[in-house]
Amino acid sequence: MLLKELSEAFGPPGQEDEVRDLIREKIAPHVDRIWTDTMGNLYAEKKGRDAAGPRIMLAAHMDEVALMITRIDREGFLHFKSLGGIDQRVLIAKPVVIGRQRVPGVIGAKAVHLLEPEERERALSLRELFIDIGARDKEEAEKLVAIGEGAVFQSRFSSIGGNRVRGKALDNRAGCSALVELLQYDYPVNLTAVFTVQEEVGLRGARIASYNLKPDLALVMETTTAGDVPEAKSHQMSTRLGKGPALTIMDRTLIAAPDLLKALEETAQRLDKPYQWKQTATGGTDGGAIHLTGAGIPTAVVAIPCRYLHSPASVIDLADYQHLIELIHGFLTHAPGRRTGQK
């Protein structure tokens, strides 16, 4: 399964090579042209039946939240900073893999009985955590890992429940996987898919990708927080699993283009497919960078609800994944040919 392969691939921000190679191999038979840029964004162009039709950018980020090794101490422990927003509460005792050699390790911390009372009351900060790769000293550790290399959770993808899956990096390998699947079909419009880099550290790859392409409009395919868990109040439930792909009206980085949102909503209604509105205005996506490019690019975000985002075991519902593909397929097949006001 493509989503499994993508979830298990190694892709810290700035070190997306393995994900990029995997995607390139999968899409090559289905697109007209593939290229990359200086930052490592992967572009795939697919010409539409109407050469003069609108040019649409579809974006999904390849990177995942990770840790970057910043120091190796005398005893051979690795110290790190975060690449993207990681909740430090999820880190302790988690298995990780590091760098080019995919060295296995575990995130360690001082044992609980050695903690001061006030330390027990709070989550340990990143500074108090380290990675243990089993090295006896600094010299042994340096043979395996270099400063600047990334570490990601080591986590097997698997199915849980009836139609749900669990794995690391579903943010945003689920979006990448859906975009790869969408590229297998032909459309009337001119498409350029961009698998972007460095989203988790500030929407960086998307910024130059949209500058390079200057599309007529852009759709971002993402995962977004599902808040439908015990103890959450209903207004905190940003999205809910199994209720369809989520459309964003506004988040921290973007107010979606109203015409584009309307077209997406109409597409869902026409196809009789479920969709939901993202209920909180938190978080940001590549859309934040894309819509401010040049003289502005109408942009919208469609996202798969995901529980435990940025953890070793995120959960999505495959029905939401499938409905996202169907929604965007339906949109690309019909809506964009129409210009605003010419319905």
Residue whose C-alpha is closest to residue 46's, from 69, 27, 65 = 27
Element (H, E) at 120: helix 117-120
| Residue 222 CB, nearest approach to Co ion (Å) | 5
| Residue 287 CB, nearest approach to Co ion (Å) | 11
Cβ neighbours of residue 11 closer than 8 Å, sequence gap 6 or more: 17, 18, 19, 62, 63, 64, 66, 152, 169
Q: How far apart are CA 262 and CA 246, in angstroms?
A: 13
| 8 Å CB contact between 301 and 293 | no
Residue 151's CB: how many other CB atoms inside 10 A?
25
| Residue 126 CB, nearest approach to Co ion (Å) | 20
Residue among 8, 16, 199, 200 flagged as catalytic: 199
Element (H, E) at 118: helix 117-120
Residues from 24 through 83 that contact Co ion (CB under 5 A):
none
- 46 or 166: whose CB is closer to Co ion? 166
326 near Co ion, judged by CB under 5 A: no
171 near Co ion, judged by CB under 5 A: yes
- 202 or 330: whose CB is closer to Co ion? 202
Q: Which of 7, 15, 154, 172 binds Co ion (CB under 5 A)?
A: 172
User: Which of the stretches 23-31, 97-105, 164-172, 276-284 binds Co ion when contact is defined by CB under 5 A?
Assistant: 164-172
Buried/exposed code over 234-253 (b: 16+ C-beta within 10 A; e: otherwise)? eeebbbbbbbbbbbbeebeb
Q: Is 111 helix (H, G, I), strand (E, B) or coil?
A: coil
| 8 Å CB contact between 32 and 47 | yes
Residue 256's CB: how many other CB atoms inside 10 A?
24
- 149 or 222: whose CB is closer to Co ion? 222
User: Which of the stretches 30-38, 39-47, 171-179, 228-236 binds Co ion when contact is defined by CB under 5 A?
Assistant: 171-179
Site residue total, Co ion (CB under 5 A) = 2
- 16 or 171: whose CB is closer to Co ion? 171
User: Which of the stretches 151-159, 170-178, 245-253, 317-325 binds Co ion when contact is defined by CB under 5 A?
Assistant: 170-178
- The question of whether 200 is a catalytic residue gets the answer no
- 68 or 306: whose CB is closer to Co ion? 306
Question: What Å distances lie between residue 170 and 156, 165, 188, 315, 340, CA to CA?
Answer: 12, 9, 30, 8, 34
253 near Co ion, judged by CB under 5 A: no
User: Which of the stretches 12-20, 169-177, 243-251, 315-323 binds Co ion when contact is defined by CB under 5 A?
Assistant: 169-177
**Residues labelled catalytic:** 199
Task: Point out which residues bind Co ion (CB under 5 A).
Answer: 171-172
